[in-house]
Amino acid sequence: MLEYKGLVIYKHPQVYEPAEDTFLLIENLDIKRSDDVLEIGTGTGLIAVCAAQRSRGVVATDINDYALQCAVKNTITNRTYNVELRKGNLFKPVQDQKFDLILFNTPYLPTNENEKIDEELNTAWDGGVRGRETIDRFLDEVSDHLKPNGRVQLVQSSLSDNEKTLSKLEELGFDAKITASEKCFFEEIVVITAKLK
Task: Dump pLDDT digits (tens) for 15-74.
Answer: 888 989 899 999 999 999 999 999 999 999 999 999 999 999 999 999 999 999 999 999
Average pLDDT (76-81) is 96
* DSSP H helical ranges for 10-107: 20-27, 46-52, 65-77
Task: Provide the pairing of β-strand 7-9 with 36-40.
Answer: unpaired
Q: What is the pLDDT of residue 142?
A: 96
Please state, in angstroms and rounded to a whole number, the distance separating the CA atoms of residues 154 and 69. 23
Predicted pLDDT at 7:
93
Q: Where are the domains of the chain?
A: 2-196
pLDDT of residue 107: 74
* From 41-55, 71-85, 106-120, the region with the lowest mean pLDDT: 106-120
Instruction: Check residue 56 and give its pLDDT.
Output: 97
> CATH classification of 2-196, choosing from 3.40.50.1370, 3.40.640.10, 3.40.50.150, 3.30.1490.100?
3.40.50.150
- List pLDDT tens digits, range 129-188: 566 888 999 999 999 999 999 999 999 988 889 999 999 999 999 999 999 999 987 789
Confidence of residue 103 (pLDDT cuts 50, 70, 90): very high
Residue 74: other Cβ atoms inside 10 A: 24
Give pLDDT, residue 174.
97
Residue 109's pLDDT is 60
What is the largest distance, in Å, between two alpha-carbon atoms of the chain?
Answer: 45
Give me the pLDDT at residue 110, please: 52
What pLDDT does residue 125 have? 46
DSSP code of residue 15? S
pLDDT for 111: 57
Q: What is the 3-state secondary structure (H, E, C) of 149-178?
A: EEEEEEEEEHHHCHHHHHHHHHHCCEEEEE
pLDDT for position 123: 55
